[in-house]
Structure 1
């Protein structure tokens, strides 16, 4: 993901200084959609591994999140 962001930034700088070709415009659109897809995927993973606890120490994770977490439980391959 770091390489994608680096290339997006390179193309953004080039767009501001000298402009982009049609191929580079298509590349930056593709890279941005790929970056957003990966970012959203990592956010989903983060949320699926989150438990919300109130100040008293009670689990107050929303039921919708608990159901999603239960669906995502990884089955053992053994």
Structure 2
């Protein structure tokens, strides 16, 4: 995940955007931080998905083949 100081900066820029508005340099910084945050979020989410095992009510593994293949590639 993103370091806390960067998340704090994202929130600070969002608050300033709503109240006073941002200058062009701050808008650029905000976009860069947002992209960085989304990249980290998506990476963390994909890693979580790679650890999931889907089981039906009878206890049978029904994990989709696409997910199983992804899990095999990363082990």
Q: Would you call these one fold, judging by a TM-score over 0.5?
A: yes
Deviation of the 1:22 alpha carbon: 1.2
44-53 or 15-24: which moved more?
15-24
- Listed as ranges, the matches of 1:18-57 within 5 Å are 18-57=20-59
Is 1:12 aligned to residue 14 of structure 2? yes
Partners in 1 of 2:38 and 2:8 — Cα distance?
14
Deviation of the 1:3 alpha carbon: 2.9
Partners in 2 of 1:56 and 1:71 — Cα distance?
28
**Alpha carbon RMSD of aligned pairs, Å?**
0.9
Q: Which runs of 5+ in 1 are unaligned?
A: 74-78
TM (normalized to structure 1)? Answer: 0.87
Matched with 1:3 is 5
Matched with 1:76 is none
Candidates 58, 61, 66, aligned match of 1:59: 61
Partners in 2 of 1:46 and 1:25 — Cα distance?
31
Aligned residues: 73
Q: Which runs of 5+ in 2 are unaligned?
A: none
Runs ≥4 residues deviating over 4 A = none
